[in-house]
Chains A and B, each alone.
Chain A
């Protein structure tokens, strides 16, 4: 079963991580955007990351896509700290220096749309760490994210040095899912699994 679909957007697409992309992902990890992060040393770690990306999506703990522009991997969209029962997740985008803000926005947007419609996630968080590209904050507000808090010294960048974190949230306007009976809801591919009257799966006796 495929939990992380390919999603098209104008000018590119996002796609699940694959072992064939290890070299491109390694290149991405040579250009960390987050203050305090160092370039990745051991390419072998990325094999495990590809494994984790599948396992995390299958268990709804996280999700990862590679951003592909003109056939070249230029970044990643990640969802982590996924709380399915609370309908919320934290998002993050990492990109090569050549990934434009517009491409970053379109990739993040198509992933959020998917998570809203497929998994009914309503609350999308994004943490911008002081020192990152400030254009990202304008991108977030342009997408409907709201700056909700600034967390002092919440990100460690050295032995005893820290950076502030600006936390943004986007709350989807889509209605919350309504619990249904087990087996109902196949039409929209969603069944949260209540079995209120004890009947068996739709179509069975």
Chain B
């Protein structure tokens, strides 16, 4: 199975631990990029290196796969999109993305179907869900445009900045 693939305008590839640290830090050090999860932005470059090692190990153990989305014309990193908590018995997984300001719906519309095809055809998964902080309008618009269905909201999933966080849950079924 080839884990690196491309669309007309973008390269979708697994990260390389000793080469992608700077670009990943540049993306994940922006608070607006991770607010929907929600998570604190990175504040040290070493965190990106650690994260790359961590996701390599999670990939090895078949519990997650994260791809970097690069624009072909200039190699710019536009997003990190991945799946985690892969349940091989139930054939489902949770998708997570961190999008730069340049990664708009047009980019997602080209990239996400390619990723979903891999999840369906190569990994034989059935259900892909996204959990995002409740009430995030931009995330809702992106997900619904990509044919994810809103399934409800899970209350008080964890605390963040002193507040209980509810997570909206969306899914797409890979028929």
Contacts and interface: CB of A to CB of B under 8 A. Distances in A.
Interface in A155-178: 155-156, 160, 162, 167, 169, 171
Given A154-B92, A162-B126, A149 B156 contact: no
B127 A162 contact: yes
A104 interface: no
Interface residues of B, number: 20
A149 B154 contact: yes
Contacts of A169: 154-156
A154 B154 contact: no
B158 interface: yes
B90 A151 contact: no
B112 interface: no
B89 to A, nearest CB: 7
A151 B156 contact: no
Using C-beta atoms within 8 Å of the partner chain, give the interface range for chain A: 20 to 34
B129 A123 contact: no
5 contacts: A148-B155, A151-B127, A151-B169, A152-B149, A152-B151
Interface of B: 89-92, 126-127, 129, 149, 151-159, 169, 171, 173
Given A150-B151, A154-B90, A169-B155, 19 more contacts: A86-B159, A122-B156, A123-B157, A147-B152, A148-B152, A148-B153, A148-B154, A148-B155, A149-B152, A152-B127, A152-B149, A152-B151, A152-B171, A152-B173, A153-B92, A156-B91, A156-B126, A162-B126, A169-B156
